[in-house]
Amino acid sequence: MDFIAEAKCLNVATIKDVTDQVDNTHKSKDKNSDRRWVSCGQEDEYFELYNKYEKHFEEFDEKIIAKLMCKCCNQLKPKGKEKVTWLEFYQCMKNNITDSSQSLRSILDELIEKHK
């Protein structure tokens, strides 16, 4: 990741901080039609990134997950028309883990396997 992208994630403390970095808010008429695609800018009635946090990562400090999501939003750039799958996003998150959290790695491994 480049220096500017890294700097964008330094002060991230919440997942809302991540979505606030994205100008484009993804809206779909049919929420089921694009479930496999990540949108870092979706924060309307279906707050996509936060919902993933609540469903899979709530046992971890939100700041840790928000920083990982921020890095992947800046690396993969699913901010509008770009198509990034959850498989790619979870792999990116796993690749950006800097500590030795085996439980987080295990959850990501399960999610990666589920999305293959």
Are 112 and 62 in contact by the 8 Å Cβ rule? The answer is no
pLDDT in tens, 8-57: 899 999 999 998 887 655 455 555 555 778 888 765 556 889 999 999 99
* Structural domain contains residue 13: yes
Can you tell me the mean pLDDT for 104-116? 95
How many independent structural domains does the chain possess? 1
Could you tell me the residue range of the domain that residue 13 belongs to? 3-25+35-114
* Structural domain contains residue 30: no
Close Cβ partners of 61 (under 8 Å, ≥ 6 residues apart): none
Distance between CA atoms of residues 98 and 91, nearest Å? 14
Model's pTM, two decimal places? Answer: 0.84
Nearest of 50, 61, 115 to residue 89 by alpha carbon: 115
